[in-house]
């Protein structure tokens, strides 16, 4: 039986999924991530602590800087190659009233080790929209105004071979509902700390996203697809 390329048009994805009988559990033995390449240079990065931190801005007297925290998922755990998304770790966004310097972009350098293989290395590149706290807000909010973190581009289809089988590893984006929905944007109201998970997927055929900015992955849908034996047809 040939592997079947299934077009998930509603999701903006094309994902090749094998029948469930072919799915394998891939042992993830280590996960890590460090901040780098922050713009502007005044962003303070500390990768010596857990969580890894990035901080910026001049707060009012007695206030807090804005920032990001990153904590990698505990290992070991198994990832399902049928296309079930899994969490790489926890991303915190601390959004407080600040003055300059204001973050514009930053990178999370990512490393994941599969069993005894050499680590897979990639990067999440983020852009940051530190919105003015004045109406009208874009995006709309209740505080005003929320700030927005965006995955600049997903990191897709890093190939690796495990136990004689070829697989593909892809970094996807944010989820706040255990992987049911995964998006490229993460919105935090002013004066709050907000938390999301960063999700990835391992597949037996490559995935593609026609327009990265439109990424909206229904993770539970991918998991459900893996529970069926597929005939040759395209889903709509």
Please tell me the distance from the alpha carbon of residue 201 to that of residue 81, in angstroms, as a whole number.
8
SS3 219: helix
How confident is the model at residue 116, as a pLDDT? Answer: 87
How confident is the model at residue 221, as a pLDDT? Answer: 36
* pTM, full prediction: 0.79
How confident is the model at residue 153, as a pLDDT? Answer: 75
SS3 11: helix
Count CB-CB contacts under 10 A for residue 157.
14
Residues of the chain scoring pLDDT < 50: 1-21, 210-236
What contacts 62, CB < 8 A, 6 or more positions away?
none
How confident is the model at residue 60, as a pLDDT? Answer: 87
Rounded to 5 degrees, what are φ and ψ at 213?
-70, -15
Reading the block at residue 53, the tokens are 């931190």
How confident is the model at residue 66, as a pLDDT? Answer: 97
What is the layout of strands, in order, in the sheet containing 185-188?
A: 77-80, 25-39, 105-114, 120-129, 147-153, 185-188
CA distances from 152 to 17, 185, 211 (A): 26, 9, 11
Reading the block at residue 183, the tokens are 């998006």
Reading the block at residue 178, the tokens are 């255990």
How confident is the model at residue 217, as a pLDDT? Answer: 44
């Amino acid at each position: 039986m040939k592997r079947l390329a299934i077009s998930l048009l509603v999701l903006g994805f094309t994902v090749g999924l094998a029948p469930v009988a072919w799915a394998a559990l891939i042992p993830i033995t280590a996960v890590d991530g460090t901040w780098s390449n922050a713009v502007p240079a005044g962003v303070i990065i500390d990768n010596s602590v857990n969580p890894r931190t990035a901080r910026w801005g001049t707060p009012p007297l007695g206030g807090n800087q804005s920032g990001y925290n990153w904590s990698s998922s505990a290992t070991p755990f198994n990832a399902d190659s049928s296309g079930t998304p899994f969490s790489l770790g926890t991303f915190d966004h601390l959004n407080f009233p600040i003055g300059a310097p204001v973050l514009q972009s930053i990178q999370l350098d990512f490393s994941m080790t599969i069993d005894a293989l050499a680590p897979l290395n990639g990067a999440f590149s983020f852009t940051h929209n530190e919105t003015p706290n004045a109406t009208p807000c874009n995006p709309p909010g209740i505080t005003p105004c929320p700030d927005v973190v965006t995955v600049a581009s997903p990191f897709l289809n890093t190939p690796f071979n495990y136990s004689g089988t070829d697989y593909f590893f892809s970094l996807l984006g944010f989820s706040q509902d255990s992987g049911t929905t995964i998006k490229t944007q993460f919105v935090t109201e002013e004066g709050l700390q907000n938390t999301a998970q960063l999700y990835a997927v391992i597949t037996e055929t490559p995935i593609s996203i026609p327009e990265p900015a439109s990424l909206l992955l229904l993770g539970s849908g991918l998991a459900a697809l893996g529970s069926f034996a597929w005939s040759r047809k395209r889903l709509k």
